[in-house]
A and B are shown apart, each in its own frame.
Chain A
Amino acid sequence: KAGVTQTPRYLIKTRGQQVTLSCSPISGHRSVSWYQQTPGQGLQFLFEYFSETQRNKGNFPGRFSGRQFSNSRSEMNVSTLELGDSALYLCASSFNREGGYTFGSGTRLTVV
């Protein structure tokens, strides 16, 4: 079965712009979570959605937001981009948080 699909794979934006990243979970998975990975901070949890509802949120500013659609696909939006937002953004899906999470290949965002 198809894995977790993230688009786009790479993105270059300038400071002040906004960006939307997409994640399509494994079919049947209702939980989608987002992470930011940087060399200095490692993997940091952004938020988790389950059945279109945000279930948890990490310690990120309000510029970071997300949503989940009825087909479980999720989008993450970052507004007013800053240089420090440059990172690999990973999305992971799970059936119900049991059995671990399956990650997508990520979106590499570079802010210049």
Chain B
Amino acid sequence: EDKVVQSPLSLVVHEGDTVTLNCSYEVTNFRSLLWYKQEKKAPTFLFMLTSSGIEKKSGRLSSILDKKELFSILNITATQTGDSAVYLCAVDPLMNRDDKIIFGKGTRLHILP
């Protein structure tokens, strides 16, 4: 059965710390891995990763994919209280009729001032 596992489930750090969130997956077909940030309701898109070893960056956030070991990490440097959110990882398989996007259960990140 296809699955996406995120770790840790929750994390509490102090402002200024660097955090690494993990996402591992087992899927029959793989097209891309997606990261989202969910603060209150609507998850907001962060990154889409399709190729191994190519880091994607957006400000203090960065992410990389390892297709051989089937995992991705999301790094946040110099964390701020506004980074507090649930971070969701999802795998989007090939566009076959029975393929569907699979989300992990998320990592709840809380940044202490």
Residues on A lying within 8 angstroms of B by beta carbon are 3-4, 33, 35, 41-45, 48, 55-58, 88, 90, 97, 99-106
* Band of interface residues on B: 20 to 34
Cross-chain contact B41 with A100 (CB below 8 angstroms) = no
* Cβ–Cβ < 8 Å partners of B42 in chain A: 3-4, 90, 103-106
Query: In the complex, A32 Cα to B44 Cα: how many Å?
Result: 16
Assuming A45-B101, A88-B41, A99-B48, what are 18 further A-B pairs, CB within 8 angstroms? A3-B42, A4-B42, A42-B104, A43-B43, A43-B88, A43-B90, A43-B106, A45-B103, A56-B99, A58-B100, A100-B45, A101-B45, A101-B101, A103-B42, A103-B44, A105-B41, A106-B41, A106-B42
Contact with A along B73-113 (1 / 0, CB 8 A): 00000000000000010101001011111111110000000
15 A-B pairs with CB atoms under 8 Å apart are A4-B42, A35-B103, A42-B104, A43-B106, A44-B103, A45-B103, A48-B100, A56-B97, A56-B100, A90-B42, A100-B48, A103-B42, A103-B43, A105-B41, A106-B42
B34, CB-defined interface residue at 8 Å? yes
| Interface residue SS majority, chain A | strand
- Closest chain-B Cβ to A36's Cβ sits at a distance in Å of 11
Residues on B lying within 8 angstroms of A by beta carbon are 34, 36, 40-45, 48, 88, 90, 92, 95, 97-106
Query: Known: A48-B100, A56-B97. Contact between A90 and B43, CB under 8 A?
Result: yes
